[in-house]
Amino acid sequence: MLYFHMVMSKLKKYYGAKGGYLKEHQKYFSQKQLKQDVGFLVAALHLKLRDKILDLACGHGRHAIELNRRGFDVDGLDSSKYLLDLAKTQAKQAGVVFHCFKQDINQINLKTKYDKIFLFFSEFGLFNPDKVLRGVVKSLKLGGLFLLDCDNVFRLLRYLEKHPRSSYVFDFVTMELGKKGGSSSRGSRYYTLPQLKELFQKHRLRVVSVYGGYDRKSLNSNSKRLVVVGKKV
């Protein structure tokens, strides 16, 4: 419990006004990447204009705003007031209505029931998986879909082998990635597909699709991402 409080405190700083999130990911925030991301979400979740959709850990709302601009009905949830304020400003500039909620992803408490929920390009391993999935299922309609996007641990390990001078180290006992000489004994938890399937099943989510990237190709050891889509049953 103490560990997750420490993690959330660090995340609050990282995603705040003086944090490094926006600067570190600047190259990712291109229109080309956004088009690929949104196209993938529409296809992988079979999004329909009548769907009620939730962008979990929405950040400054890039995906949610673009989907709303295309006519979809998307809400957002994030713990960073700073990023949500940016999202509201950008939504207004884009001329779209964007409802967002400031909440801890480990303690999702929403009145609305959603047809589709996605947690995209996010550090799932920094959160409490059971609490997150419990909140997702609670907020999802029966038969609704949840998309979880994670890094592929096998690609990560291959990268670390090729770059031994990297400032990061992987603990094979805990399956966690942390900084060398870091003050915390724990880092971001990584999952294999069988482990995610077990977590999904535990929370009444039946896995219906698995992808290795935003091009919707099959998962393999070289895949950049590990994307799992589950259906609430």
Give 76-134 pLDDT, tens digit per residue: 999 999 999 999 999 999 999 999 999 999 999 999 999 999 999 878 998 999 999 99
Q: Rounded to two decimals, what is the model's pTM?
A: 0.89
**Residue in the block written with tokens 């929920």:** 117
Domains in the chain, please, with CATH? Answer: 2-232 (3.40.50.150)
Cross-strand bridge partners of residue 206: 231
Write out residues in the chain with pLDDT < 70, as ranges.
1-26, 28, 182-186
